[in-house]
Amino acid sequence: MGRAALERIREEGTTLPRSLAMRVAETMAWWTLENPLVFQPGDVVRRRSRLTAKEGDASDHPERVVREIVEARAKLLEQSGWPGRLPARLLPGRLMLLVPSFNLRDGAAWLASFEFYGEFDLPPCDLWVDLLPQVRIRIGDGDESAFLSWIPDEFIHLAQEGIDVNGDGSIDWVEALSPQIHEELRGYTQSRDIDSVQPNLFSTGWAARVSRRLPDDRR
């Protein structure tokens, strides 16, 4: 099934736009393919990925940079044979928002999280789902653009460390920073099977084929 056909699939039980549901699935698929972050206690987070983004550019021009990352990731996934035919469960994790216009870029989250965040306090670009152009933020007046990121279970504690020391209110979990977006996302993220939202977006067969091609230290 091609990307154009996938974009036309209607989600069941969710009010999310089709494109955003696709981006969530792509982010999880990329995590399975690339295994881009490694953390050992006593060390900092190590990143190994084919995706790169300059944090300064991403902070100043988020729409352009996020679009470039999303498009590059989709192309690499397609080259790897994704999507496949068999449904698989959603990967465990949480959704986070970062509001670039609030971000002081002081590196507090970077230091507190053992460098899970970058020096400008952005989460890793591998985990960016998309840029939401208009988000009603609880602490602000009016709407703001915001990075939406998916944080895998094993990195939630490091992401929380950054949230706890962040004094500008630019980073938080979706439910805390924007209840409106949380309500829109909840039906999708609570679904246990991607097949119940968009059939055929993620494939156990695809993941197994990729795993066999990866070196042992990248599985």
Look at residue 31 in the predicted model and tell me its pLDDT.
Answer: 94
For the chain, the domain total comes to: 1
Residue 44's closest CA among 107, 109, 108, 116? 116
Q: How large is the average pLDDT for residues 162-171?
A: 91
- How far apart are alpha carbons 73 and 108 in whole angstroms? 28
- Convert the pLDDT of each residue in 36-88 to its tens digit: 999 999 899 999 999 999 999 999 999 999 999 999 999 999 898 887 643 44
pLDDT reading at 215 higher than 50: no
| 92-115 average pLDDT score | 93
- Predicted pLDDT at 84: 63
Average pLDDT for residues 205-218, to the nearest whole number?
Answer: 44
* Mean pLDDT, range 146-166, rounded to an integer: 95
How, if at all, do strands 46-47 and 37-38 pair? antiparallel
Q: Which of 43-52, 128-137, 153-162, 193-202 has the lowest mean pLDDT?
A: 193-202
Q: Residue 91 has what DSSP assignment?
A: P
Is the pLDDT score of 165 beyond 80?
yes
What pLDDT was estimated at residue 136?
A: 82
The model's pTM is 0.78
Band (139; pLDDT cuts 50, 70, 90): low
Q: Which domain holds residue 18?
A: 3-218
Q: For residues 128-140, give the mean pLDDT.
A: 84
Residue-wise pLDDT for 10-29, tens only, equals 333 333 456 787 888 899 99
Please provide the average confidence, as pLDDT, over all residues in the chain: 78
Q: Concatenated DSSP letters for 107-169? A: SHHHHHTTTSS-TTSPPPGGGEEEEEEEEE-TTSSSEEEEEEEEEEGGGHHHHHHHHHH-SSS
Mean pLDDT to the nearest integer, 208-213: 43
The runs of H, that is alpha helices, within the chain are: 3-8, 18-34, 55-60, 62-79, 108-112, 156-165, 174-177, 179-189, 204-213
179 pLDDT band, cuts 50/70/90, is confident
